[in-house]
Amino acid sequence: MKKASVHHRKNWISLIGNFFFFLIIPFISMGQQIKPKPNIIYIYADDLGYGELGSYGQTKIKTPNLDRMAKEGMRFTQHYSGAPVCAPSRSILMTGKHSGHSYIRGNYELGGFADSLEGGQMPLHEGAYTIARMLKERGYSTALVGKWGMGVTGTTGSPLNHGFDYYYGYLDQKQAHNFYPTHLWENDQWDALNNHVFSVHGKIDPKTATDADFEKFRGKDYAPAKMTQKALAFLEKNKNKPFFLYLPFPLPHLALQAPDEYVKKYIGQFDEKPYFGENGYAPNKYPLSTYAAMINFLDDQVGIIMEKIKKLGLDENTIIMFSSDNGATFSAGVDTKFFNSVSGLRGLKMDLYEGGIRVPFIARWPKKIKANSVSDHVSGQFDIMATMAEISGKKISNSDGISLVPELSGRKQDQQKHGFLYFEYPENGGQLAVRIGNWKGVKRNVRNNPSQNWELFDLSKDRNETTNVSAVNPQIISQINAIVKREHTHPHILDWEFIDPKVSRK
């Protein structure tokens, strides 16, 4: 009986032990789980040239916050936007499809500039699979704050139809020409700003111009400042769960408008003459100073966002990326030669030469991305969706992009490389570009001359595309033609078809 009692006691102790073991397993699992998913912030400039940041060689414009971001992270030297203008670049970024597959391939403006005519651009189709939709499926809170450009409220293109829980800003690119608009949009609702109505494309007579005439093209509520406020509120609200914040600031796109305190930092530094609106967009008394001020203001907003992340204690679990939708602009008071805006590269916005599509790209993630590192890896903005997919825990296959996580992590040996980069752009005469390794082919005026010859450049020796070597490299031209034939798919509207002679029209 004694032995049986001891045996019974041991069984009872074992039973209690097992009970407590299985009781605490869920808590052990919870502790291992789980590092929270990384937060993701992607900041997108508008018409910012490759050479307009200090970390990319700029000497006249102050960009201390982005320069610090580069020192604390990785700076890419051969990164490309998806297209040389706004709307297709944004579509390519959001959907991970290059311009031969993208639903949106040109700006395709609808409506007019007046509030009553606000029509936006070609709306993104309802079933589009976007970065925001992907991350929302993975448990992220998602927000867009800034300029959308892929459809206005009441269309399939509203950001609320594409995976964003919240949005604030410009829906229509034409409205974004004015940094003192009458309104912005917040979740499909009109948000009135304290600004008077004026045409941002008005002119001033140089013979009679006064300070008051220039002042008419300014208001009280500066749209980018409002955007930063909304972005900070989103971060505060979602600090305890994973979030994706897409911040496509409209700076430094024209018109030339910036807060006085920023413009005054530069007045007197440059030999400048007033711009009277003769080539479109708002007149400005100090065009060089104002352009520099706009980039300086953009830089400060990046600094504000980085500081907020630190204050929330989220710095080590947040990757912040920064880039631009295309190269620097070409008109209306902006002197890109004076600022060396594209660092000597050939071409500007609306060109498929390097100056139109090679853009800054900086990524910062403490303890994950090596500080003060530089990458020469050839990449494009259609890689960002695949990159965010891997960061958020699961790779995707339905993308033209390749994840940049190995490169960002310092595992260069594991980084897959593109066999080619493909670009097609139906506007500005119809243009094509293909990059294979260091070879870059460019074909212009395709719409009017489909048999136009390719220009070919060796970027390893000729970064600025000065010497056409197509005549002595026919085998490369053959490869390029094969890529165009394979990668071009028919767009959904005829106006964008300029490649297939069976379909295209002039």
Tens-digit pLDDT profile for residues 28-38: 343 444 678 99
Q: What is the pLDDT of residue 108?
A: 95
Q: How far apart are CA 326 and CA 83, in angstroms?
A: 7
pLDDT at 4 over 70: no
Give the residue-averaged pLDDT of 240-245.
98
pLDDT, one tens digit per residue, over 400-435 is 999 999 999 999 999 999 999 999 999 999 999 999
Q: How far apart are CA 68 and CA 284, in angstroms?
A: 31
How far is residue 168 from each of residues 115, 161, 183, 315, 448, measured CA to CA in Å?
17, 14, 11, 24, 40
Q: What would the two tokens of residue 376 be? A: 């020469």
Q: What is the pLDDT of residue 332?
A: 83
Q: What is the pLDDT of residue 28?
A: 39
Q: What is the pLDDT of residue 501?
A: 76
Q: What is the pLDDT of residue 400?
A: 98
DSSP 303-323: HHHHHHHHHTT-GGGEEEEEE
**Mean pLDDT rounded to a whole number for the chain:** 93
Residue whose C-alpha is closest to residue 452's, from 468, 436, 463: 468
Q: How far apart are CA 296 and CA 107, in angstroms?
A: 27
**Vertex 320 angle, CA 318 and 326, to 5°:** 160
pLDDT at 86 over 80: yes
Q: What is the pLDDT of residue 331?
A: 79
- pLDDT tier at 6 (50, 70, 90 boundaries)? very low
Count of CA atoms in the C-beta half-sphere (13 A) of 365:
19
pLDDT at 117 over 50: yes
Q: Are 204 and 283 contacting, i.e. CB atoms less than 8 angstroms apart? A: yes
Q: How far apart are CA 336 and CA 314, in angstroms?
A: 37
Measured over the CA atoms of residue 311, residue 314, residue 316 and residue 318, the dihedral's sign is negative
Query: What is the set of domains in the chain, with CATH numbers?
Result: 39-414 (3.40.720.10), 421-496 (3.30.1120.10)
Q: What is the pLDDT of residue 488?
A: 98
Q: How far apart are CA 197 and CA 113, in angstroms?
A: 12
Q: How far is CA 33 from the centre of its chain?
A: 32
- pLDDT tier at 235 (50, 70, 90 boundaries)? very high
pLDDT at 56 over 70: yes
Q: What is the pLDDT of residue 29?
A: 40
Give the residue-averaged pLDDT of 307-320.
98
Q: What is the pLDDT of residue 505?
A: 60
Give the residue-averaged pLDDT of 218-228.
98
pLDDT at 271 over 70: yes
pLDDT, one tens digit per residue, over 435-447 is 999 999 999 999 9
pLDDT at 3 over 60: no
Q: What is the pLDDT of residue 121?
A: 97
Among 186-190, 197-201, 501-505, name the one with the lowest average pLDDT.
Answer: 501-505
pLDDT, one tens digit per residue, over 162-173 is 999 999 999 999
Q: Are 168 and 184 contacting, i.e. CB atoms less than 8 angstroms apart? A: yes
- pLDDT tier at 504 (50, 70, 90 boundaries)? low
Q: What is the pLDDT of residue 506?
A: 54
Residue whose C-alpha is closest to residue 95's, from 129, 139, 44: 129
Q: What is the pLDDT of residue 32?
A: 43
Q: How far apart are CA 411 and CA 202, in angstroms?
A: 53
Q: What is the pLDDT of residue 14?
A: 52
pLDDT at 8 over 60: no
Q: What is the pLDDT of residue 34?
A: 65
pLDDT, one tens digit per residue, over 349-386 is 999 999 999 999 999 999 999 999 999 999 999 999 99
